[in-house]
Amino acid sequence: MPLFGSNFSPKKTPPRKCASLSNLHVLDRSTREIELGLEYGTPTVNLAGQSLKFENGQWVADLGSFTGDRREMQRLRKRNQQLEEENNLLRLKVEVLLDMLSETTAESHLMEKELEELKSHMRRRK
């Protein structure tokens, strides 16, 4: 008796039948959708009690599914608006600071250039 040998021999698989006896593959797309019910609708998902729908390439919250407190949602919207305004103000301040820095740098370069010209003029006089 062989140690690793086996007498296993798989059975032969029966020959396949014809691929399809249905004539649905001959029908056009709209008829197939009606016959097979291929109209799925918009995909929806439920996360943390909130329902989201996929519309126009983005996930949109279903307004009727929000189970949280309306006051909490209003508070969050107000806070979001405050943060956006603060962000816009900070961006404006950064722009002003960059303008001031560039102006000061330009003035500094002009002063250095004038100083070099004065030094060279004084050297020529001697």
Q: Which residue has 């000061």 as its token pair?
A: 104
Query: 79 to each of 68, 73, 74, 93, how far by Cα in Å?
Result: 17, 10, 9, 21
pLDDT of residue 116: 95
Query: What number is the average pLDDT over the span 2-17?
Result: 72
Tens-digit pLDDT profile for residues 80-120: 999 999 999 999 999 999 999 999 999 999 999 999 999 99
pLDDT of residue 92: 97
Tens-digit pLDDT profile for residues 38-91: 666 778 888 777 788 888 888 887 766 555 677 888 899 999 999 999 999 999
* Chain-centroid distance, C-alpha 32: 35
Q: Parse the chain into domains and list their residue ranges.
A: 22-64, 66-125
